[in-house]
Chains A and B, each alone.
Chain A
Amino acid sequence: MAKKQLYYEDVEVGSEVTPLAKVATTQMLVKWAGGSGDFNPLHYEDSFAASMMVGSPIVHGALKRAWLGHLMTDWIGEEGTLKKLSCQYRAMDYPRKMKTMTEPHEGDTWWCKGTVTGKRVEDGEHIIECNIWVENVKGEKTTPGSAVVVLPSKKRGR
């Protein structure tokens, strides 16, 4: 991709991680089940989800975690390295249903976001720490977490 590489010097405490929009659909949950190998009926069977007291099928926590991975790898670019990624699944999210083979109904969009909380050089590595989260349409952080990355420096190679 012809994206501009992010460097350590481009980032300050308080800087924003470039936000990433995601739309959870029933189709995405099917693809995730196949792609991840998680076939828990909690994520596709109405009656089972109801019996587990979550109402209707919910978005997989691990799928939201994978969105946060995407958020970070897009932001740090190919020369950046993700060292740590953590998150907690604090609240349920519910996918949009599909209207056509490829288009979902109107509905919620989720935003993956983050802010820089620290930067330091340690053993020659240029390290950035971030708070990250998935935010629902009400602005609630349903999946808060954190990440640590190493960025290239403009001063010398990695």
Chain B
Amino acid sequence: MNKATRSLLALAVAGALAVGTASADIPNNTIKLGVLSDFSGLYKDLGGDGSVVAAKLAVQDSGIEKKGIKVEIIQADHQNKPDVGSAIARRWYDSEGVDAIVDVPTSSVALAVAQVTKDKNKVFLASGPGSSDLTGKSCSPNTIHWTYDTWMLANGTGTAITKHGGNTWFFITADYAFGHALQHDTTAAVEKAGGKVLGSVNVPISTQDFSSYLLQAQSSKAKVIGLANAGGDTINSIKQAGEFGIVKGGQQLAGLLVFITDIHSLGLQTAQGLTLTTTFYWDMNAQTRAFAKRFAPLDKGIHPTMVHAGVYAAVLDYLKAVEALHDVKDGVKIVDEMKKMPTDDPLFGKGSIRVDGRVLHPAYLMQVKTPAESKYPWDYLKLVATIPADEAFRPLKDDGCSLVK
């Protein structure tokens, strides 16, 4: 072809590309979110189906669909296995066009997914896992860690109990990333408050029978038995501790990570008096109550846990950032935008996101009510103290995160 035709063609192609790229920032005007959670195992009640419900409610409340952008939500079960979780994440990012993954309540899976997300430059809204390494030595510019972490739990529950006289501890620890992180952070908090750790025992995740581990805890004569586990493991530990007369024998149980679904499973008779730290409680204020009222009928009557609330808040904030940038493809860019904007949602209130990916909002020290104190269904907790956002989470300088200059 001659020069004129070629330049015309080039112009046409450039024009097409320019137009193409503008709308390719949100391809097909659709954002695809993946809820990766435990749908069949020991964490299925605190995350699972409820997380999908929370994500859908967030999409509704964001109003983004009224602006012409569609949001598609898919889900998958990582079965608490890092290899399964990272394989699903890879497949989602590579061949199913997923833009962001949310939830992942299991820390070992979360660490694997964070790595995959970084490699593919997508966004990981870690609203479910606990390990403080996600904003520490394993921090990433593509991860935002919502809701809670092991440092916050240790410094909430651990410090409070030690200061109240529980100064010798024995840990029953779930033998994987989360349990180890929780034990490590709580040991630091206990020792800082003047206490001592007498020993610990590692227990495989999803153990049904804790009798021999509880016996070891009993014979250590520690004043406090720290349960560095969660979900079904915590429920079984507490139930069986009751069987073996551990609390009657004078030792105190410290549930380091307790969800409202655990208390519902245990019943107030067994769980009363337990101290726990949380960043969300459904009965805190009018806005949280309104959310719970919408959530419960959609999740078999279960009232939202802080993990469910975390999914809601994270998705809401993510959609805000994507809308502001009009770009869903560059993960680091979206995360940076989220770090610039303050967070504000009806469940956690006002907060901010730090350079290491940690979301800051207040934490609440709460205690489980006695059966007599509970006046209506799911009325389980009473507020003991509020820990302000700047004190609740690990200081930046202690992080060990490469993003902190």
Chains A and B form a bound pair = no
Question: Which residues of chain B have a CB within 8 Å of any CB of chain A?
Answer: none
